[in-house]
Structure 1
Amino acid sequence: LDKAAGTMDALDDKEFSGSLVVLLENGLDFVRTNSKVKWQKAGEERIELPDYPKRSVLEGLVNALIHRQYLDLGSEVHIDLFDDRLEIYSPGGMCDGSLVQEQDIDKVPSKRRNPVIADIFNRLKYMERRGSGFKKIQSVYQSQYLYTDEMRPQFYSDKDTFILTLKNLNYKKGAEKGAEKGAEKGAEKKQFHKMEERREKILLLIKQNPHITQGEIMENLNLSRKQVQSLMRILNNQGQIRRVGSNRNGYWEVFREGRGW
């Protein structure tokens, strides 16, 4: 596994042997282990943002194992995972010798080099009987939240080789990555100042009324009970406030005041 856009020492490298089903499952696990699934909140919904859609990877691996040239001794199916893309290589080009990159993917005719293997995979529910693998890979990508035309899966073949390239949907180039990190740092800084401001307001409320309750602080600052409890725990741990007496009849003491006082 090469996790870079160029050539470098592999960060992970595994070789698998066994039945075709074992090879398929091991290949899926390898991609799953070395890729990420992010998520984003959209209203009440949580949207998963995988580097590579599982269904597209499955279709690509199934296609590689079913349609590869098994008479080419010493050759093998392999997966190369880079920062920005995943490549699945299989020995043997298109069955009719055509070049897949010169064809409309939606209209590529279904021709199987190994019909017995294809039938077994179909019976095991790893694939559909009709030749829809290429279209499925593309349609799944197009349905992804972060998809753009630049992310379109790429198919390449010559007389000896077939390569499927899947783009990393979460990959950001240098400038974009820098802008994203800058935005994240800006958001973190803003959140820090917001927390500081809330703690100072709590200190002021306690100074004005040492007997103030958490409920009254919630109402004054329009915060939830969990937020107030968290902020007061921080103030207490920092030695800025202390509870004297019982929860019912006690009061708060302020030992160190906030900024600007």
Structure 2
Amino acid sequence: MDLSNYIGETSSYDKKVMLEVKRPKSWLKSVVAFANTNGGKIFFGIDDNDKLLGLENAKQDSEIISEIIKTKLDPIPQISLNIERIYNKDFIILSIFSGNETPYYLIDGASRIAFIRIGNESVIANSNQLKNLVLRGINKTFDSISSDIKIDRASFSKLKAVYYQKTKKDLVDSDLISFSLVDDKGYLTYAGALLADERLVYQSRIFATRWNGLDKANSRLEALDDKEYEGGLLYLLQSGEDFIKSNSKKMWKKGNEARIEYPDYPEIAIREALVNALIHRDYSEIGSEVHIDIYDDRLEIYSPGGMFDGTLIQEQNPYQISSKRRNPIIADLFSRMNLMERRGSGLKKILDNYEIQENYNETLKAEFRSTQSSFYIILKNLNYKVAIKNGDKKTAIKNGDKKTAIKEKQKALIIQFANEVEYFTINDIKELLELKSSRTRELLSLLVSDNILEAIGENKNRKYTLKDTN
């Protein structure tokens, strides 16, 4: 193993200059934290300045490590111990694998302590994190737990209406059991309670505020508008979207072929951000809620609970992040209704839909930030300090390379969508990219001419699919 590959990186491993035998907690807490989260490695023989010092007796140290883990941890996580000789020096690499018997505890005297990994630190799990570890250990998630609410106390008219609108299929009572919204004894799971018309889960709320200025205390008139919404997730999603639309603008100018629109925030980005906040938040945190804060220059959406796997979103590439769902039952149903990406690419979709806007530049890129207990999405106002005037050469968006790049990005998004569905219509693409009919037809015609798409049918019955190249 080339240890130089690990120098400077600390998010998925720790480095120890030597084995602490008298104070094993200094490294055992990392063993526990890695087992309770995504796994990791501990390197013995490397100091904090990444200097390769080596160990005097690596074989003896490895035996001590194995024995201490057996006596100090419960349950015992899966590990592997390897001795590596580099530059005539011996090093120990302790690999800890993510476990299925969580929570893993460090036995410290009369105490049992569970640690988790947050960024590059091993920290004591709080009560909510400990609950989630217990659920993971019994292969359950919060939304799969049965509540004490009988099915006859709930109605699902909103869910049934949206389900039919999005899928053209009726959602019947037996589906409530099939989709794990109701258990076999007639009680709602928490997924069912969160999707019912009524407010059955106290923390199913959104607090929304339009602030006056760039922060929460800009002047004597601090808030221009504020609302509190309580109820099922579909009601919250619609209410959140409506609040943002009513407190933002959509500018436009006349183009050569059609009107060119300049929204403060792309509608698809708003939808994805709200869905992310409502679906992936931690509902086990009593008294919590999603917050929507609109300022002059940005829109911030906060949701309780950090990344489900304990990582920090700001340390990851949002284009490549894997999907790990805190509430998989709710997420699956939203996916069936095409309200979220099945493959967990919602953050990528936000970035993509910003990039295709006419007045986008890198300073307006959406931002994602998380801690161990919170997640933030910051959408920049595309029209902040921008005066788009018809015919004004200084402020009008120029033709040329930028428009070509936007067109290519839009074509790429259509191809990506075509890979996810078998057939689609012009209206599907209009909704996906928020374009006028003329621009949508132009893009589809180009893709057909390039032998990427195939058009089937005529006029209103026309559908598109990826062309079979076999």
TM-score by length of 1: 0.65
Task: Verify: 1:83 aligned to 2:292, yes or no.
Answer: no
Q: Of residues 367, 370, 393 in structure 2, which corresponds to 1:157?
A: 370
Distance of 2:328 and 2:212 partners within structure 1: 35
If you compute each CA radius of gyration, which structure gives the higher value, 1 or 2?
1
Q: Which runs of 4+ in 1 moved over 3 A?
A: none
How much has 1:110 moved relative to structure 2? 0.6
Which position in structure 1 is the counterpart of 2:214? Answer: 5
Distance of 2:370 and 2:248 partners within structure 1: 26
Which position in structure 1 is the counterpart of 2:36? Answer: none
Distance of 2:379 and 2:290 partners within structure 1: 16
Identify, as 1 or 2, the structure richer in strand.
2
How much has 1:123 moved relative to structure 2? 1.9
Distance of 1:154 and 1:37 partners within structure 2: 21
Q: What percentage of residue pairs aligned between the two structures are identical? A: 54
How much has 1:4 moved relative to structure 2? 1.4
How much has 1:45 moved relative to structure 2? 2.1
Distance of 1:48 and 1:73 partners within structure 2: 41
The one-letter code of the counterpart of 2:375 is: F
Deviation per CA, 1:129-151, whole angstroms, max 9, x where unpaired?
11110100000000000000000
The one-letter code of the counterpart of 2:245 is: R
Which position in structure 2 is the counterpart of 1:105? Answer: 318
Task: Verify: 1:27 aligned to 2:240, yes or no.
Answer: yes
How much has 1:22 moved relative to structure 2? 0.2
DSSP 3-state at the match of 2:331? helix
**Aligned residue runs from structure 1 range 97-176, under 5 A:** 97-172=310-385
Which position in structure 1 is the counterpart of 2:227? Answer: 14
The one-letter code of the counterpart of 1:6 is: D
Which position in structure 2 is the counterpart of 1:64? Answer: 277
Distance of 2:370 and 2:266 partners within structure 1: 22
Q: Of residues 281, 303, 307 in structure 2, which corresponds to 1:94?
A: 307
Q: Per chain length, whose mean CA-contact separation is higher, i.e. which structure has more relative contact order (CA < 8 Å, sep 6+)?
A: 1
Distance of 1:100 and 1:145 partners within structure 2: 27
Q: Of residues 254, 264, 279 in structure 2, which corresponds to 1:51?
A: 264
Distance of 1:105 and 1:32 partners within structure 2: 26
The one-letter code of the counterpart of 2:215 is: G
TM-score by length of 2: 0.37
The one-letter code of the counterpart of 2:291 is: H
The one-letter code of the counterpart of 1:55 is: I
DSSP 3-state at the match of 2:223? coil
Distance of 2:307 and 2:346 partners within structure 1: 14
Distance of 1:2 and 1:11 partners within structure 2: 6
DSSP 3-state at the match of 1:24? helix
Identify, as 1 or 2, the structure richer in helix.
1
Distance of 1:89 and 1:38 partners within structure 2: 27
How much has 1:171 moved relative to structure 2? 0.3
How much has 1:50 moved relative to structure 2? 0.3
For this pair of structures, how many residues does the alignment match?
A: 178
Distance of 1:128 and 1:152 partners within structure 2: 20
How much has 1:2 moved relative to structure 2? 0.9
The one-letter code of the counterpart of 2:213 is: A
Unpaired segments of 5 or more residues in structure 1?
Answer: 184-261
Distance of 1:123 and 1:70 partners within structure 2: 21
